[in-house]
Amino acid sequence: MKTIAVYPGTFDPITNGHIDLVMRASRLFEHVIVAVAINPSKKPAFTLEERVDLAVQTLHHIPNVEVSSFKGLLVEVAREKSAQVIIRGLRAMSDFEHEFQLAGMNRHMEPNVETMFLTPAEQFSYISSSLVREVSTLGGDVSAFVPSCVVLALNNKNSLNLDEK
């Protein structure tokens, strides 16, 4: 049986930390689905289409990785894609409590899908999408934290926001 893993997130935008986790997961599983979420409780800087496109651009070189989007329950995506594993990233202990609760809820709703926690390489452990957006919005250089296509997309987004003001 082919082992399929789903790595969900809003990826607003995708960072080098996310990419590191996808690469790690791609070595562990035969197929990895990066599932870009529509999260009604968040107000993303990038549209769903932009987030999916940036993920595709940055992950196209990994042959066993697929990028898709989803709305609704993650366990439904796992069922639809016949995934056995949900990948979640942990940067720090502060992430653990929330992720532990999510894993428990997902296990309750779908006992046949396991959650696996992966940690990024140390040089990526402090990077978050929200920090990248904030630094970029304030004019800082984020090229050490995200791929060049994301830097360009952030710069374009920031210049559009400045034009609107």
Q: Is 42 a catalytic residue?
A: yes
Q: What is the pTM of this model?
A: 0.92
pLDDT in tens, 63-111: 999 999 999 999 999 999 999 999 999 887 777 888 899 999 999 999 9
pLDDT in tens, 5-45: 999 999 999 999 999 999 999 999 999 999 999 987 888 99
Q: Is 31 a catalytic residue?
A: no
Domains in the chain: boundaries: 4-125
Q: Side by side, which strands form the sheet with 31-38? A: 65-71, 31-38, 4-9, 85-89, 114-118
Per annotation, catalytic residue among 24, 26, 88, 129: 129
Per annotation, catalytic residue among 91, 125, 128, 157: 91
Q: Is 108 a catalytic residue?
A: no
Q: Is 91 a catalytic residue?
A: yes
Tell me the C-alpha distance between 21 and 130, whole Å.
Answer: 18
* CATH 3.30.390.30, domain 4-125, yes or no: no
The 3-state DSSP class for residue 31 equals strand
